[in-house]
Amino acid sequence: MNHFFAYLARMKNIKRWGLMRNTTEENIQEHSMQVAVLAHGLALIRNRYFGGDVDPNRVLAIAVYHDVSEVITGDLATPIKYFNPEIQRAYKAIESVAEEKVVAMLPRELQADYRPLIQPERDEAYAIVKAADRLAAYIKCVEELRMGNQEFQKAKEAIGRDIAALGRPEVDFFLNNFMDSFTLTLDELN
């Protein structure tokens, strides 16, 4: 029996931001959708405005699957995951084993199709997905702050520094052209 799709359906049960009080809870399934939308947009921006040549559909697919290992590992909080290099290396190894376990849940004939999405090479498409992942975290902080939750202030500052350090023109373009909309109410968006 193949459990791949049943396991992925459990992504909705894995909560994010476990160490922080949230006004709106978020699970990894919702997060993956947002990262996919952002990553696809960043890929298109990269190609149209900055001479990129990345496949936006591949970026989209990698983003959809970027956190599937967490159906096995759970969502380890970033301050713990990156506490020191030893923990970071150990967690990367755990993620790799979990990713392989998820791939192994597929029929053998499909594994080669999914492996490059779940365990992608560390190329430009992957870098865009990682940038979109950080951008999604930044947006979460902005939304929580807009709701009056000061718990996310320090996270917003730290993630903002991370994003600035990426030096990715497509991310800067997004921040300059789309980010302010996340501070508006529904009435203001209309």
Domain ranges for the chain = 4-185
Q: What are phi and psi of 15, to 5 degrees?
A: -80, 145
pLDDT for the residue 3: 94
Average pLDDT estimate for 135-150: 97
In tens, the pLDDT along 180-190 reads: 999 998 999 99
For domain 4-185, the CATH architecture is Orthogonal Bundle (1.10)
Separate counts of helices (H) and strands (E) for the chain: 11, 0
pLDDT for the residue 122: 95
pLDDT for the residue 89: 87
pLDDT for the residue 102: 96
pLDDT band at 19 (very low <50, low <70, confident <90, very high): confident
In tens, the pLDDT along 90-127 reads: 878 889 999 999 999 999 999 999 999 999 999 999 99
pLDDT for the residue 91: 79
12 vs 74, which has greater pLDDT?
A: 12
Q: Tell me the H-state helices in 23-123.
A: 28-49, 56-64, 70-73, 78-81, 85-104, 108-118
49 vs 89, which has greater pLDDT?
A: 49
pLDDT for the residue 81: 73
Is the separation of the CB atoms in 152 and 140 below 8 Å?
Answer: yes
pLDDT for the residue 36: 98
Q: CA 144 to CA 166: how far, in whole Å? A: 23
In tens, the pLDDT along 44-53 reads: 999 999 999 9
Longest dimension (CA), the chain: 51
pLDDT at residue 83 tops 80:
no
pLDDT at residue 157 tops 80:
yes
